[in-house]
Amino acid sequence: NFTIAAHPMAIMVAVIGGLSTIFSELDCMNPDHRWLACERLVAKVPVLAAYAYKTSIGQPLMPPQAKLSFAENFLYLMFGTPLEEYQVDPIQAKAIDAFMILHMDHEQNASTSTVRTAGSSQANPYACIAAGVASLWGPAHGGANEAVIKMLEKIGTADQVPQFVEDVKAKKEGIRLMGFGHRVYKNYDPRARFMKELVDESLKAMGVHDPLLEVAQKLEEVALSDEYFLKRKLYPNVDYYSGILLRAIGIPTSMFTVMFAMSRTVGWMAQWNEMISEGQMRISRPRQLYVGARHRDYEPVKQRSRTESFDRQGTNFHLEETVTR
């Protein structure tokens, strides 16, 4: 059992890893076993994600319904309760589907590389995915959209954007521009273009007014007209607007990274299956280059002096011992 205060990502790491105790008979070299593992994980992770949220807020768990689609079931498990009937909003379901597609796979990022590294040892696939979830948990990776929301909240209103931009350029302590720039894209992230349109379309259709969207749009406008950011090829990435979309649906910020993990599981399993099926099963062993000193002066232990500090009453007592033989 997990405590009510447990972070959903901590629950996800533990529970997905725990599935390897139930499905320990899997042979990763067997194509049928691999496909079964893919099906199970793609199906189970959204359920576990919703249950992690329900556990964190102390609400009862809801069983999935066969009549609902993938995205509809997730929303039902997240927000349904035994007390009243929950009707899934088709606009929200469409937005979840789009979010999933945009986040499913994206080259050899940190979490995908982690899954492949773990899988290269022929580890149980559930353990490999748990490793990927742990890697994704970090704020520099899967937590980026949550960091964007915190930044926008800190800015407050659209009229504060110009001052924030000046603080970013001045490298003022504690001020960071989140959701801009990408190691792969040196121009506008194509996923971000679609996400921006999706956010605008979804919020209008749901009748949601989020003041943070105005702040985000103003910040993008100011940044993309400033030579400082253009010269450094800092353009919005997919994380910039995705948090606003999730907020509009009602997903709490503590679940943002879980949503990412739920989507990325599809890509992780595709990468894991591809790696094994194409015979790329040499165990991962990154090369390490020593860059330290090539020569160090060495004094034999018996010739060294040792200085120790100790305080009888917790403050100052000094003892020096010289070892000579």
Q: Report, as residue numbers or ranges, the catalytic residues.
A: 182, 239
From the list 75, 77, 49, the residue with the least C-alpha distance to 64 is 77
Interatomic CA distance for residues 84 and 30, integer angstroms: 45
The span from the first CA to the last CA of the chain, in angstroms, equals 60
